[in-house]
A and B are shown apart, each in its own frame.
Chain A
Amino acid sequence: MRVHFSAVARITTTIVVLLYSLSVASAAELQKPSGEVLLKITGNINNANNEGEAWFDIDMLKSLGVTDIETKTPWTDGVAKFSGVLLSDLLKAAGAGSADFEAIALNKYKYDFGDIEHEKYPIVVAWQLNDELLTIRSLGPLWMMFPFSDYPEIDNETHKNAAVWQLIELIVY
């Protein structure tokens, strides 16, 4: 940051930002999905929109902000561009009460994220691969994707097993 704030101004700004984000996190009423539900976040969450569960359609996901990841994967050819919402934003939107959660796929595949330091990396819940919407046949409609190329330390079997495709649900513990 090139602009130099005075110490007081900086502290005040920080406090304001913190308060604002807190109010957003706690007070935000999650709107109800209008289209097809692609993802459910269940379990220990604070922001629900359907009987204690947070349901998301594509528009709701897009409204949380779109992030692109460019990486090589074992399942795609060359460098692939994945576009989606940051996992951290998604969990925040649902008001997740813990960082420990489980990801479940359409074919009942499960992966426990309790052992993964997912908060350290910009992990994306992607709905678009190389600017095309993911379908079930292309391992969509949602795919948990890690920036393997940018972070060599996560380019391993464990994190590849955590890259759950055909993602339909996150259960927060």
Chain B
Amino acid sequence: MKYKSYIICSLIAALLCVVSIAFLAKEITSAGERIHSVGSIRLVNFSFMIGRNFDELARALSGYRDCRLSPGKLPPDTSNVEYIEKFDIVWSAYKSAYRNIYKHWSSTGYWLDEGRATSAARLRDSGLAFVDEYQADMSPNGSISCDRINKMLNDIFLQKESISEFAQSYFDLDNRAAAEQQEGIKKLYHSILFLALSFLATLFLTAALVYKALREAGESYHHSQVAGQKAMVALSELRESVNTSVAQQNFFAAASHDLRQPLHALGLYLGSLRRHISTDEAHHILNCATLSTESLSGLLDSLLDISKLDAGVIKSSNEEFYVHTLLSRIHRRFLPEANEKSIELVCESDDSRVFTDEQLLDRILQNLVSNALNYTEKGRVTIASTSNKDQVVITVTDSGSGIPELKQEAVFTEFYQLQNKERDRGKGLGLGLSIVRRLSDLLEIELEMESEEGKGTKFSIKLPVVKSTRAASRDRSVPETKIALASNLANVKILVVDDEEDIRDSTVIVLQSWNCIVCAAEDIDGAVKIISEDGFSPDLILADYRLREKETGVQAIEALRQVLSEKIPAIIVTGDTSVDFLTRASLTNLDVLYKPVETKELLVRIARMVSSNNSSPVNRSPTNT
């Protein structure tokens, strides 16, 4: 049974209780009234008593008359005492008692109706007339004649007749009253029974209701406890999984650091080797080795990008720029690869401007175009931008193999690659699209993919259009000519701080090949000594992040800047992509290069820093390939 029905039932029972109490109260009141009316019965009894008094008088008078008629049986003087006494009793009843009783009862309303009151009054008056009439005959000294006795007996008979008539009417009333009383008692009994039953029903229902409520409260308490336990389990599982993902991230950072160290050295060695070889074959082999190194470097970059994006250290920095500048740069960048595969790479852009992070958008498009070229065997890849009044849509379309519908969502997950069962790392790690997804989420731009198996794939990026006519920001890309000019680093003094000898030496060789004046130290003390004792005053510090005995490149740079009392430009080189480091590097506003650093990039970075002499560019860019 539901709560509602319980409540309704107990309300009904309670209502019945109230009704029976009301009924009981009414019955008790009416019973009181009936008992009150029993007063009339007393009057009947009184009348009977007077009747008996008359009987006694009649008997005494008859006895006296009999004695008079047959003398000698009793002495006359004793027998008149008896009838006088009986007459006195009758007299007292009417004159002393009845008079006042009548007054008393009529005042307390015992006369049930006017008719009976009148007949009672008549009875009383005739009784009084009787005693008045015969009072003179009751002298103790005189005697009463037989005729007078006969008349008196006749009158007594008449008195008695009217008394019994009157009493009869009250007797009926008495019976009726008794019957009513019985009926009333029966009703009282029934209503008490009913009251008791409805009270019990109320009690039972209330008890049941309370029991049910308590039981359900207990059950819900139990349920809540179970739910709480489940939540605890889920929480601990979640915590474990968080720990697991943190562990994974740490693993990534450590792995890319360890991989970068030798790759970095290899890149530097290969760069410097080029000067020392002369045969075409050797150059070809060197080119191949360089390509492989670059490919390996690209793979690591992808890993590093994912790592940095997950760490949340990359923040977008929006600015206004022309889309076509970006698209043509990307077009230029991928043209050689496209030509190599005999794929037509087309760039069709309009003159719309957008407001977003140019470098991150560059990275997105780079990944998309690279992907398109990878999965297209023949035909064309189109990079295009169109705009309407609200938005600019940049599309990368290929005529490649397309993505089966079932796999369209899967391609955005990490390490997912189509048609690369042999896991050819030349095709990357399968991180491209997951990087794209993460970057587009970061930039809050809409990314759509349409693909049909065998026909090709089209990626669309939707950006809000910029309507103002204000000039777009300067083209941030460094023109090749400028790089060429800046590459003249002759006599630039550079202090290298690195604890690993291989890296330190190869870095020194590369820098010296650019005619830089280089000093190297393996720790902070050595570097400080070079400055304070050897009097070397560097234009730039190039420090590895992780030095010996928990020293860091950041500390080294700070120490050296303090010794020189000058905030000279400094670059941190590291293979460590762990979240902690990235966060710290962002905070210390140092320029950071991630291993493996290509010689060309190192050159550009040093050239830019030396020429602008600005030591605090914010590092936030994913590594350029």
Chain A interface (Cβ < 8 Å from any Cβ of B):
73-77, 106-109, 135-139, 157, 161, 165-166
Of the candidate stretches B9-17, B49-57, B327-335, B523-531, the one touching chain A is B49-57
Q: Could you give, for residues 170-213 of chain B, a 1 whenever the CB lies within 8 Å of some chain A CB and a 0 otherwise?
A: 00000000000000000000000000000000000000000000
| Inter-chain contact B88/A137, CB cutoff 8 Å | yes
| Inter-chain contact B89/A75, CB cutoff 8 Å | no
Of the candidate stretches B94-102, B501-509, B580-588, the one touching chain A is B94-102
| Inter-chain contact B101/A107, CB cutoff 8 Å | no
CB-defined contacts of B464 to chain A, threshold 8 Å? none
Given A74-B101, A75-B100, also A137-B92 (CB < 8 A): yes
| Inter-chain contact B52/A107, CB cutoff 8 Å | yes
Select from chain A the residue with minimum beta-carbon distance to B36: A157
CA distance A106 to B88 in the complex (A): 11
Contact residue among A75, A107, A139, A157 (Cβ-Cβ distance under 8 Å from B49)? A107
Tell me, yes or no, whether B104 is within 8 Å of chain A by CB: yes
Tell me, yes or no, whether B375 is within 8 Å of chain A by CB: no
| Inter-chain contact B96/A139, CB cutoff 8 Å | yes
| Inter-chain contact B42/A157, CB cutoff 8 Å | yes
Q: List 30 A-B contacts (CB under 8 A).
A: A73-B100, A74-B100, A74-B101, A74-B103, A74-B104, A75-B97, A75-B101, A76-B100, A106-B85, A106-B89, A107-B52, A107-B53, A107-B89, A107-B93, A109-B49, A135-B88, A136-B85, A136-B88, A136-B89, A136-B91, A137-B88, A137-B91, A137-B95, A138-B96, A139-B92, A139-B97, A157-B42, A161-B42, A166-B89, A166-B92
Interface centre among A75, A108, A161 (most CB of B within 10 A): A75
| Inter-chain contact B100/A136, CB cutoff 8 Å | no
Interface residues of B in 369-420 (CB under 8 A from A): none
Q: How far is the CB of A172 from chain B (nearest CB, A)?
A: 24
The 9 closest A-B pairs by CB, nearest first: A74-B104, A136-B88, A75-B100, A137-B92, A137-B88, A139-B96, A107-B53, A107-B89, A139-B92
Q: Could you give, for residues 42-79 of chain B, a 1 whenever the CB lies within 8 Å of some chain A CB and a 0 otherwise?
A: 10000001001100100000000000000000000000
CB-defined contacts of B101 to chain A, threshold 8 Å? 74-75
Kindly list 16 other residue pairs between chains A and B, CB separation below 8 angstroms, not including A74-B103, A75-B97, A138-B92. A74-B100, A74-B101, A75-B96, A77-B100, A106-B85, A108-B52, A109-B49, A136-B85, A136-B88, A136-B91, A137-B95, A137-B96, A139-B92, A139-B97, A165-B97, A166-B89
B interface SS class: helix
CA distance A95 to B49 in the complex (A): 32
Select from chain B the residue with minimum beta-carbon distance to A74: B104
CA distance A109 to B56 in the complex (A): 13
CB-defined contacts of A137 to chain B, threshold 8 Å? 88, 91-92, 95-96
CB-defined contacts of A109 to chain B, threshold 8 Å? 49
Interface Cβ pair total, 8 Å cutoff = 44
CA distance A73 to B96 in the complex (A): 12
Interface centre among A74, A135, A138, A165 (most CB of B within 10 A): A74
Tell me, yes or no, whether B298 is within 8 Å of chain A by CB: no
CB-defined contacts of B52 to chain A, threshold 8 Å? 107-108
CB-defined contacts of A136 to chain B, threshold 8 Å? 85, 88-89, 91-92
Tell me, yes or no, whether B39 is within 8 Å of chain A by CB: yes
Q: How far is the CB of A15 from chain B (nearest CB, A)?
A: 48
Q: How far is the CB of A143 from chain B (nearest CB, A)?
A: 10
CA distance A100 to B501 in the complex (A): 134
CA distance A74 to B42 in the complex (A): 14
Interface centre among B39, B92, B101 (most CB of A within 10 A): B92
CB-defined contacts of A76 to chain B, threshold 8 Å? 100
| Inter-chain contact B56/A107, CB cutoff 8 Å | yes
CB-defined contacts of B103 to chain A, threshold 8 Å? 74
Q: How far is the CB of A99 from chain B (nearest CB, A)?
A: 25
CB-defined contacts of B42 to chain A, threshold 8 Å? 157, 161
Q: How far is the CB of A7 from chain B (nearest CB, A)?
A: 52
CA distance A16 to B232 in the complex (A): 91
CA distance A102 to B92 in the complex (A): 22
CA distance A136 to B92 in the complex (A): 7
Q: How far is the CB of A168 from chain B (nearest CB, A)?
A: 11
Select from chain B the residue with minimum beta-carbon distance to A109: B49
CA distance A74 to B39 in the complex (A): 14
CB-defined contacts of B96 to chain A, threshold 8 Å? 75, 137-139
Interface residues of B in 79-116 (CB under 8 A from A): 85, 88-89, 91-93, 95-97, 100-101, 103-104
Select from chain B the residue with minimum beta-carbon distance to A108: B52
Q: How far is the CB of A137 from chain B (nearest CB, A)?
A: 5
CA distance A74 to B106 in the complex (A): 11
CB-defined contacts of B56 to chain A, threshold 8 Å? 107
CA distance A109 to B45 in the complex (A): 10
CA distance A74 to B100 in the complex (A): 6
Q: How far is the CB of B224 from chain A (nearest CB, A)?
A: 65
Interface residues of B in 502-518 (CB under 8 A from A): none
CB-defined contacts of A107 to chain B, threshold 8 Å? 49, 52-53, 56, 89, 93
CB-defined contacts of B91 to chain A, threshold 8 Å? 136-137
Select from chain A the residue with minimum beta-carbon distance to B105: A74
CA distance A173 to B104 in the complex (A): 33
CA distance A44 to B85 in the complex (A): 29
CB-defined contacts of B92 to chain A, threshold 8 Å? 136-139, 165-166
Select from chain A the residue with minimum beta-carbon distance to B104: A74
CB-defined contacts of A108 to chain B, threshold 8 Å? 52
Contact residue among A75, A138, A139, A157 (Cβ-Cβ distance under 8 Å from B39)? A157
Q: How far is the CB of A75 from chain B (nearest CB, A)?
A: 4
Select from chain B the residue with minimum beta-carbon distance to A129: B96
CA distance A157 to B40 in the complex (A): 12
Interface centre among A107, A139, A157, A161 (most CB of B within 10 A): A107
